[in-house]
A and B are shown apart, each in its own frame.
Chain A
Amino acid sequence: MAHRQTHGSSWHRNRRNWLTFLAFVAPNFLIFGVFTYWPILYSFYLSFNRWNFLRPTMEFVGLRNYARLLQDEYFWEVVGNTFTYTFSVVLIAQFLAFLLALALNRKVPGQPFFRTVAFTPHITTTAAAALVWVLLLDPQMGPLSLIYNALGVQGPRWLVSTTLALWAIIIVGIWKEIGFSSVFFLAGLQNINRDLYEAAMVDGASTWHLFRHITVPMMTPIMFFLMVSGLIQAMKAFDVVAIMTEGGPVYPASATYVYHLYQLAFRNFRAGYASAFAMFFFVAIIVITLIQVRMSEKWVQYGE
């Protein structure tokens, strides 16, 4: 009898807890359900259809969207652009950010000021920054022209060159990324136990040795994190392209994947084909993340 009562009351308590839990997570899950989970399923469904947003019915085309995608010149070109953009931004920005973090890690007068300046690009509205960069890179009106002038050379017209337009976008990407990454590197550098250096110095290790065998290994988890998040972030580049080049000067010379996806869906009204594009992107992000997780097991050194 007594046993049953406690059992009953614990069930009662559980039910109360469970209902509270459900109530607490309900708002987010409701929104995720409607605006994230469902759209993915629907995207998947759309990718097997042909539809222009207007006709009352869709036409089921099976895998034809995917087959077309592989033969689409634009697809391969924007994939190439996105690869170039993503890896250039992540690798160059990481290298420079690490250098900057090493400098910021020395407590010299004025250090807080430099830290603020470094981080500001990251919080600046990308669309606005991109517009400023259009002006900065202008061979006539921008400050670079003073350098060209001094050197007596004709400055490149970044945005009307089919090869340089993508690099103009990459430069803005790097500019935004450096300060962000350096904040993480700096936090990592400050977390390294000083005793490690002291001990190695007693053993007569050189500065380069300390750097190579203590600093760099200790930073690998941060490098890994920044690479994963940086790659995924860079793959999604849209604002800079929309403001600076609109994929030009000859489309798709500087179009990134997401920018082309937007064009397909909201300029060409190809809902089904754009959805196949989106699904491919989704799979690519998951694959890249998994590869990086596997790779990290090899070269990331966690812990002390």
Chain B
Amino acid sequence: MASNPSVQVQVAQGRALASRRRRERLHTGLTYLILGVSAVILGMPFFWMATTALKPIQEVVIYPPRWLPSEIRLENFVEAWQAAPFDRFYINSVVTGVATTLLQVLFALFMAYAFAFIAFPAKNLLFLLVLSTMMIPVEMKLVPNYLLLKELGWINTYWALIIPPAAHAFPVFVLFQQFRTLPRDLLDAATVDGATHVQTLLRVVAPMSRPLLAAVALVSFVGRWNDYLWPLIVTNKVAMRTLPIGLAYLKETQEGGNRWNLLMAGTIFVVAPILVLFIFTQKQFVEGITRGAVKG
């Protein structure tokens, strides 16, 4: 108790610093451990998909399996492409994916603008009606929608793949949230200049929201590309199928042969465009997904 208090403090500080450093190192080690294990587990399917797609069939069925192919067999891709009409699947996926995305964003742009800036009676109630569609799963509308599309003669057409999913509450909600934060003065100035709502929307609001529009479009496109259930219901001809269902078709036709190298090549056909898109637009993409969720 007699020792100098300032020395005591120094010693204590030194000890605290050392223990903090030790803890820091421990934390970094732990961080890399968690990240490494996660990356291996989360990335394993991609690794196995890629290596299997390149293996000759003997190396696929061999036990125990090999991590890497001994020779790279690119013919797998050619054979997979020929085993099912992948050219059709691609055209169907790209055309319906792009068209639906454009319509979704366009319709959402106008609707979000109307809800954000134009006065109308009972607007809140109408907005709730829009949001409520997010609560209603596609799954529970399958039977009536199928009947309706049959009545319209839309089964096995692009109409069925494009029009019903073209209205979506999610982009409306995300854009609406953004529009509310735009400075009112700017819009008022445009109105004073005698601009109509269409002009204000296209010349002021839309250009200011361009990054978000891109983000919303990305999320929409990936959602359409990956969709399995809707195209499964509204098409039944092989030539009208989209890529995910085309892959299931490839699986059925290859089932007996267990030609997993071809199946994995087919899988790459389906996921590669999305992965490439994601890698180049990651920021906007994550932005688009998180925007609708986190308030304010």
- Residue ranges of A at the interface with B (Cβ–Cβ < 8 Å): 14, 17-18, 20-22, 24-25, 27-32, 34-36, 38-40, 42-43, 46, 53, 96, 99-100, 102-104, 106, 108, 110-111, 113-114, 116-121, 123-129, 131-133, 135-136, 140-143, 145-146, 149, 175, 178-180, 183-184, 187, 207, 222, 225, 229, 232, 235-236, 238-239, 242-243, 258, 261-262, 265-266, 271, 274-275, 278-279, 281-282, 285-286, 289
Contacts and interface: CB of A to CB of B under 8 A. Distances in A.
Contacts of B129: 32
B251 A36 contact: no
Interface in B232-274: 232-233, 243-245, 247-248, 251, 260, 263-264, 267, 270-271, 274
Per CB-CB distance, the 8 closest pairs between chain A and chain B, nearest first, are A31-B167, A24-B114, A39-B144, A278-B140, A103-B34, A127-B244, A39-B141, A42-B144
10 contacts: A53-B147, A103-B35, A120-B278, A121-B42, A124-B226, A135-B263, A142-B65, A143-B67, A238-B139, A278-B141
B290 A281 contact: no
A167 to B, nearest CB: 16
B38 interface: yes
A34 B160 CA distance: 13
B285 interface: yes
Report whether over half of chain A's contact residues are helix, strand or loop; otherwise say mixed: helix
Contact of A120 (B103, B166, B196, B275): B275
Contacts of B270: 125, 127-128
Contacts of B30: 103
A108 B228 contact: no
A179 B65 contact: no
A184 B294 contact: yes
A100 to B, nearest CB: 5
A145 B60 CA distance: 13
A133 B228 contact: no
Contacts of B114: 20-21, 24-25
B130 A242 contact: no
B108 A28 contact: yes
A102 B144 CA distance: 46
B285 A123 contact: yes
B197 interface: yes
B120 A35 contact: no
Report whether over half of chain B's contact residues are helix, strand or loop; otherwise say mixed: helix
Interface in B206-220: none
Interface string B160-172: 0001101100001
A40 B228 contact: no
A104 B39 CA distance: 12
A288 B110 CA distance: 32
Contacts of B28: 106, 108
Question: Could you say which interface size class chain B belongs to?
Answer: 35 or more
B64 interface: yes
A141 B60 contact: yes
A100 B228 CA distance: 29
B228 A238 contact: yes
A268 B60 CA distance: 37
Interface of B: 23, 27-28, 30-32, 34-35, 38-39, 41-46, 48-49, 52, 60-61, 63-65, 67, 103, 107-108, 110-111, 113-115, 118-121, 126, 129-130, 133, 135-137, 139-148, 163-164, 166-167, 172, 196-197, 222, 225-226, 228-229, 232-233, 243-245, 247-248, 251, 260, 263-264, 267, 270-271, 274-275, 278-279, 282, 285-286, 289-290, 293-294
Contacts of B60: 141
Contact of B137 (A35, A120, A236): A236
A243 B251 contact: yes
Contacts of B232: 242
Given A116-B279, A236-B139, A32 B35 contact: no
Contacts of A183: 286, 289-290
Given A99-B34, A131-B267, A135-B48, A32 B143 contact: no
A239 B232 CA distance: 10
B118 A261 contact: no
Given A120-B278, A123-B274, A128-B247, A104 B118 contact: no
Contact of A282 (B35, B140, B286): B140
B22 to A, nearest CB: 13
Contacts of A136: 44-45, 48
B293 A229 contact: yes
A21 B143 contact: no
Contacts of A179: 42
B45 A129 contact: yes
